[in-house]
Chain A
Amino acid sequence: MTDIPKDVSLPLMADTITGLYVGDSVLLHGTMYTLRDTACQRLFSVLDKGESLPFEIRGQAIYFMGPSPAKPGQVIGAAGPTTSGRMSCYLPRLLDEGLKGVVGKGGLSQEARAAMKSCKAIYFAAVGGIGALLSQKIKKVSVVAYWDLGPEAILRLEVKGFPVIVVNDIHGGDLYDEGRAKYRVKD
């Protein structure tokens, strides 16, 4: 872990991704798109029909998140990550479409991890359950698609100094496995 966070711009550049390692503390700046269970299903039915996605996913980062409603005067409500594992099954296909970055929390499936590595994409974790703090790092929000899904609509977010940790780098590391091995005590 680096003590001083690295500033990383979104969308991600290939050489930026190469320079990131498991446990790196990162501040994200730029654009990412929110995605959750039901919206993933809809994106898949769009792809099945051979139509184009409601946003250009090539080179972009997605954030597994469904916010609480914004209070008057707020950009967005609480906006912390949801469990990525539920969306693991959708990742290989989204990576084929050119996805380069994922922000969420919790481990990805083995299959998703392998797909991330082969597509040279990176997985960041934000701290779960700190939606109030993370909402302050989101400067602009617009609805991209599926507003009828409420908290599961796809949003385009502009973030500034959004704190995350590298979980899966493109060199094959995994923060959860490594962290656990380091602190596990055999009884």
Chain B
Amino acid sequence: MREIQAREIVRVVSKLCQEANFFLGEDVILALKHAQEVEESALGRWALQQILQNEEIARRERIPLCQDCGSAVVFVEMGQETYVTGGNLHDAINEGVRQGYSEGYLRKSIVKHSFSLRQNTGDNTPAVVHVDVVPGDEFRIVVMPKGGGAENMSRFRVLNPSQGRQGITDFVVNSVDEAEANPCPPVIIGVGIGGTAEQTMMLAKKALLRRVGMHNQDTEIAALEREILHKVNNLGIGPMGYGGRVTALAVHVEVFPSHIASLPVAVNLQCHSARHKEAFL
């Protein structure tokens, strides 16, 4: 059994919260540069240019890419041959978020009593924590600051099994169409298919952690990703909704078997400021 110190979790989560908010991933930057090359709309290219300039400023000055520093979504893959000492896992993650959002001058965007008082918790906690226990003794933490604009455009529906592949494609494309300019396109489209309601959305969310533009290893699923991307980019929404060819940078689909009665589909959109950072302890 390998020991993981709670204070180490605090330190790493704090660091990841800040790095994710300051430094856009190389894969996202490359995808945005490619978009700039293929975009036909002048306004669309202008928006992409601003987005790329913003990335440079944020990185150089160590200031947030976006004022919406997100809900702190934290994924933990905890090897079953590890254990946490010196505190409990959830407290350590929340303390890491608290310290990271304070030290990094990140915006605190979480309110309690969400349908009444809407009082800011002041430290961006509680984090949204997902823990998977996996074989081995690795301990992986991923911090994904998830902005409200794109998250607000999430969609879930249980289709009839008879609707099949076409039903899935139509639902995803319509979800992006209806989201219009709101999720800050060009977006990355996370799609979950199968499982039960909560699991379908989790598949869609986790799909966003994949390297941008890398296709699912299953050829049938990869073909579905290509088809949806093609259709979405024919919508004409374009960068920031100003009209253009690049509405999405990528479509990532993850699947799970489903009940004989169901074909659940979830869409979780990621804005162009696709932020997540990971570390191994």
Chain A residues with CB under 8 Å of chain B are 1, 23, 25, 38, 65-71, 74, 77-80, 82-83, 85, 105-107, 125, 127-133, 135-136, 149-152, 163, 165, 175-176, 178-187
Contacts of A85 in B (CB 8 A): 182
Task: List 6 additional A-B contacts (Cβ < 8 Å) besides A78-B66, A132-B66.
Answer: A68-B64, A68-B107, A77-B63, A78-B63, A79-B67, A131-B54
> Which applies to chain B's interface (DSSP): helix, strand, loop or mixed?
loop
Distance to closest chain B CB from A128 (angstroms): 4
Contacts of A152 in B (CB 8 A): 120
Q: Are A69 and B182 in contact (CB under 8 A)?
A: no
Q: Are A179 and B149 in contact (CB under 8 A)?
A: no
A129, A176, A186: the one contacting B180 at CB < 8 Å is A176
Q: Are A179 and B64 in contact (CB under 8 A)?
A: no
Q: In whole angstroms, how far apart are the Cα atoms of A144 and B158 in the complex?
A: 47
Q: Are A182 and B241 in contact (CB under 8 A)?
A: no
Contacts of A135 in B (CB 8 A): 63
Offer 17 A-B interface pairs, CB within 8 angstroms, sorted by A: A66-B109, A69-B105, A78-B58, A78-B63, A78-B64, A80-B68, A82-B148, A105-B182, A106-B180, A128-B271, A130-B65, A130-B66, A131-B67, A133-B53, A179-B236, A179-B238, A180-B241
Contacts of B58 in A (CB 8 A): 78, 132
Contacts of A69 in B (CB 8 A): 105-107
Q: Are A25 and B65 in contact (CB under 8 A)?
A: no
Q: Are A105 and B236 in contact (CB under 8 A)?
A: no
Q: In whole angstroms, how far apart are the Cα atoms of A184 and B235 in the complex?
A: 5
Contacts of B180 in A (CB 8 A): 106-107, 176
Instruction: Tell me the nearest residue of chain B to A38, going by C-beta.
Output: B118
Instruction: Tell me the nearest residue of chain B to A152, going by C-beta.
Output: B120
Q: In whole angstroms, how far apart are the Cα atoms of A186 and B234 in the complex?
A: 7
Bits for B242-281, please: 1 = Cβ < 8 Å to A, else 0: 1111000000000000000000000000011100000000
Contacts of B147 in A (CB 8 A): 129
Interface members, chain B 42-68 (any A CB < 8 Å): 42-43, 46-47, 50-51, 53-54, 57-58, 61, 63-68
Q: How many interface residues does B have (CB within 8 Å)?
A: 51
Contacts of A74 in B (CB 8 A): 63
Instruction: Tell me the nearest residue of chain B to A65, going by C-beta.
Output: B67
A130, A165, A176: the one contacting B54 at CB < 8 Å is A130
Q: Are B50 and A163 in contact (CB under 8 A)?
A: yes
Q: Give the top 6 A-B pairs by smallest Cβ distance, nearest first.
A: A179-B243, A184-B236, A183-B236, A130-B54, A68-B107, A78-B67
B122 in the interface (beta carbon within 8 A): yes
Instruction: Tell me the nearest residue of chain A to B120, going by C-beta.
Output: A150
Interface members, chain B 129-178 (any A CB < 8 Å): 147-149, 152
Distance to closest chain A CB from B62 (angstroms): 8
Contacts of B206 in A (CB 8 A): none
A133 and B64 in contact, given A106-B182, A180-B236 (Cβ under 8 angstroms): no
B11 in the interface (beta carbon within 8 A): no
B237 in the interface (beta carbon within 8 A): yes
Q: Are A136 and B57 in contact (CB under 8 A)?
A: yes
Q: In whole angstroms, how far apart are the Cα atoms of A176 and B247 in the complex?
A: 13
- Residue of B69, B241, B271 ringed by the most chain A CB atoms within 10 A: B241
A132 and B54 in contact, given A68-B107, A180-B243, A185-B236 (Cβ under 8 angstroms): yes
Q: Are A77 and B107 in contact (CB under 8 A)?
A: yes
A105 and B240 in contact, given A128-B184, A129-B273 (Cβ under 8 angstroms): yes
